[in-house]
Amino acid sequence: MEYPAELHYTQSHEWIRFESDGTATVGITAYAQDHLGELVYVELPTTGTELSQGSACAVVESTKAASDVYAPLSGEVVAVNEALTDAPQTVNESPYGEGWLFRLRPRDDGERAKLIDAAAYGAVVESQS
């Protein structure tokens, strides 16, 4: 399983990429989508929604289960991946690329310290396997 080194991760299997414009892109990891199976539905937060770090903010549903997605940071949702409405399987096909879920404008830089790097995330996955 791959865990791109340029991303940050949560123990609840979300990834986050900090963009040059100050926003952050969020998705679920390859490990998460693999365990869920083929996604058939994605419920995304509404643009303008204020999220708190750790709060449930989206839902991904497969033929096996539904799972909450948690906000890796507090902030305002500034964009959602509308393409997933018609093609939720894109998350399975490209979890770190076209399968991103939403973008937010982080509020609290101090919360970044709670995120983990790829090596630490790999250890989390190993402990759960």
Q: Of the candidates 41, 42, 48, 112, which has an alpha carbon nearest to the alpha carbon of residue 79?
A: 48
> What's the confidence (pLDDT) of residue 129?
76
Residue at 3 is within a domain:
no
What is the CATH number for 66? 2.40.50.100
The list of the chain residues with pLDDT below 50 reads none
> What's the confidence (pLDDT) of residue 97?
96
CA dist 22 and 19 (Å) reads 6
Residue 16: Cβ within 10 Å count: 21
> What's the confidence (pLDDT) of residue 1?
74
| Cβ pair 112, 78 in contact under 8 A | no
Residue at 92 is within a domain:
yes
Instruction: Give the pTM.
Output: 0.95
| pLDDT one-digit tens code per residue, 70-90 | 999 999 999 999 999 999 999
Residue at 67 is within a domain:
yes
Residue at 2 is within a domain:
no
> What's the confidence (pLDDT) of residue 100?
98
Residue at 63 is within a domain:
yes
Enumerate the β-bridge partners of residue 50.
76
Within the chain, strands assigned E span 8-9, 14-18, 24-28, 39-43, 50-51, 56-62, 66-70, 75-80, 102-106
Q: Which domain holds residue 72?
A: 8-128
Residue at 1 is within a domain:
no
Residue at 76 is within a domain:
yes
CA dist 3 and 20 (Å) reads 21
